Structure 1
Amino acid sequence: MSKKKVIIDCDPGIDDSLAIMLALKSPEIEVMAITIVCGNSPVSMGFSNAKKVLKFMNRLDIPIYIGEPSPIKKKYVNALDTHGEDGLGESFLPEVDGFENSMDAVSYMQEALKKEKCSVIALGPMTNLARLIERDIDAFLSIDELVSMGGSFKSHGNCSPVAEYNYWCDPDAAALVYKTVYDNHSLIHMVGLDVTRKIVLTPTLLEYMNRLNPEVGDFVKRITKFYFDFHWEWEHIIGCVINDPLAVAYYLDREVCSGFSSFVQIETLGISEGQSVVDSMNFYKKEANAKVLNEADCERFWTMFISRLTGTSPDKLDILKEII
């Protein structure tokens, strides 16, 4: 079976790290590189955290490229209040020296995407992708499939009443990407808060992972404890929402989420800054530029996520239905 080639564009970040782990445990894809963008953490911290995850996964052979350190126009606001002082749940894992690349993330994308068929799973703000459009639109249009963890249709925002963080952090970048996709009759797969909020890692699921594979379970515990505490303090959830792994799971298996095609525009100003405006009723009569996902098969996701990370056959996860 030929593997699909993927670039993971991310801002690690707790849930980005879990998404990277899932991607690396998935035989259907080959992760060509990890590109870092400012978002949950500054790019230097994101680079450091990506190395820590790759070291744990024994995959430091995968190159990491540092990308844009600030949004296109607005002042950068990180999410370390959510992800901890080190961006990785205040796990303070040992630093991994070296592995710097002289090429930046946008230059890497420009070169790689024009060389071979490759998809992009964007788990952070779209700043790198917007800069790629500005530099070389043909390279951007060479992306095979673009899956974005970002936006929201009917669910409330997580950094304003209406906006999801990735699009709010750099709304101008997201707006440019969606406009470019529309102008060129293409499609973004929008894995937004409507579906990611349904993916809650509970203490029971975490303990189940730990029983199946103590090494993996302990690593996930270390990087998610801060996330658990944050979600309890702010949302009174016993557990934590892990947004980004769902985008990877959806790329791997389109039955994990379902939705509808629609025209989507990203607001860049005012009280609605970063809002993904979904024309679900086709008011504008415009061609769809997004597949907006609004339903998730939680059992299907958790079966994939737990089985792959722990190395357990899916048919042996006999109690999973009872604990989701």
Structure 2
Amino acid sequence: MPLILDMDPGIDDAVALAIALTDPEFEVKLVTAVAGNVSVDKTTLNALKLVEFFNRLDVPVARGAAKPLQKEFVDASYIHGASGMPGYEFPAVTHQADSRDAVSAIYQTLLNASEPLTIVATGAYTNIAQLLLDHPEIKSKIKQLVLMGGSLSGGNVSSVAEFNVFTDPDAAKIVYESGLPIVMIGLDVTLKALVNSETLEQLAKLGEPGKMLHGLITYYKDEYAGGKPLHDVNTIFYLVHPEAIKTKKYPVYVCTQGPAQGATIADTQNRWSNGKTNALVGLDIDATAFNQWLIEKVKQMAAK
């Protein structure tokens, strides 16, 4: 499954990227970084660290947007630490990011692909929105957008808004109005797929990859009763186990201003949408299957 990953590593992004780089189910064509959990300089560096850690220098990493389209940038270093990936001592990187900016790199990768590609976006959608603004003709080369973000049941940075959408709601609005096939994997799923203490203990025993991921997740400040939500990893899980996530098609609207800024609203009563939908929305998940899958994926990393 060929993928473009647009990310803001970030601890949960790091786990998602680790699996995507090492799972034979996926062919990662490109990784692009965006400002989100920490600054874009740091998210780019973190992506480079992981590509080197897994010896995947064949995968280009491109630096993207340093700030949202209109909104002031505010990071989540209070959750992910100053570097974005504390908890493990990575060696200094030995190679540089791609000379292209993220939008150019995504555009050229799509243009040169023999088939439409899936884009997985686990940070703010600034790079994706800018791509659609600059190159609307490239839509035909995008198979689907699998987005971590949004919520139909309440937010994590405000009473209604999830962090990725809240960080750049104007970009999210552009993406949701693009007409592209969208899968929304938001808090309705990710806050149920908690990585429990038993899973975390097992990871620590699974070689250097397990030690690295255990270190990152242990530091992770996003915690609820029962475990830690590795939000972004759910997008990768969905791609290989869609049957484990309950979904339903909805018309989803993004609020860009006011006290509901960053909210994703589903017109469940068909008051505004005239029966049209624009997103397949995740509503529930088999958390046990998710934890088991995560352990198996890290076992595979350790065995290489």
TM-score normalised over the length of structure 2? 0.93
Farther-moved stretch of structure 1 (251-260 vs 34-43) = 251-260
Amino acid at match of 2:83: D
In the TM superposition, residue 141 of structure 1 has moved relative to its aligned partner by 4.0
Corresponding residue to 2:215 among 208, 211, 222 = 222
Name the structure 2 match of 1:123.
Answer: 122
Q: Could you report, residue by residue, the CA deviation over 1:230-271 in whole angstroms, capped at 9, with x for unpaired residues?
A: 245xx5x35321000111110122112121101001000010
TM-score normalised over the length of structure 1? 0.88
- Inter-partner Cα distance in structure 2 for 1:238 and 1:193: 15
- Inter-partner Cα distance in structure 2 for 1:231 and 1:128: 25
Pair 1:160–1:92, CA change in 2 (3 A):
farther
1:304 corresponds to 2:290:
no
Number of equivalent positions? 299
> Secondary structure at 1:292's aligned position in 2?
strand
- Inter-partner Cα distance in structure 2 for 1:21 and 1:263: 32
Corresponding residue to 2:36 among 35, 39, 46 = 39
- Inter-partner Cα distance in structure 2 for 1:55 and 1:187: 32
| Contact in 1 for aligned 2:3/2:27 (Cα 8 Å) | yes
In the TM superposition, 1:65-104 aligns within 5 A as 65-104=62-101
- Inter-partner Cα distance in structure 1 for 2:209 and 2:175: 36
| Contact in 1 for aligned 2:38/2:82 (Cα 8 Å) | no
Corresponding residue to 2:3 among 2, 6, 13 = 6
Farther-moved stretch of structure 1 (166-175 vs 196-205) = 196-205
Farther-moved stretch of structure 1 (253-262 vs 156-165) = 253-262
1:169 corresponds to 2:167:
yes
- Inter-partner Cα distance in structure 1 for 2:39 and 2:298: 27
Name the structure 1 match of 2:235.
Answer: 247
- Inter-partner Cα distance in structure 1 for 2:142 and 2:94: 32
Where do 5+ consecutive residues of structure 2 fail to align? none
1:266 corresponds to 2:265:
no
In the TM superposition, residue 89 of structure 1 has moved relative to its aligned partner by 2.9
Amino acid at match of 1:177: V
Name the structure 1 match of 2:204.
Answer: 210
In the TM superposition, residue 204 of structure 1 has moved relative to its aligned partner by 1.6
1:61 corresponds to 2:58:
yes
In the TM superposition, residue 39 of structure 1 has moved relative to its aligned partner by 0.6
1:280 corresponds to 2:268:
yes
Farther-moved stretch of structure 1 (17-26 vs 95-104) = 95-104
Identity of aligned residues (%): 34
Corresponding residue to 2:109 among 109, 112, 117 = 112
Amino acid at match of 1:283: R
Name the structure 2 match of 1:192.
Answer: 186
Name the structure 2 match of 1:136.
Answer: 135
- Inter-partner Cα distance in structure 1 for 2:84 and 2:64: 17
Farther-moved stretch of structure 1 (29-38 vs 111-120) = 111-120
In the TM superposition, residue 90 of structure 1 has moved relative to its aligned partner by 5.0
Farther-moved stretch of structure 1 (201-210 vs 12-21) = 201-210
- Inter-partner Cα distance in structure 1 for 2:133 and 2:86: 34
- Inter-partner Cα distance in structure 2 for 1:260 and 1:135: 31
Amino acid at match of 2:283: N
In the TM superposition, residue 24 of structure 1 has moved relative to its aligned partner by 1.8
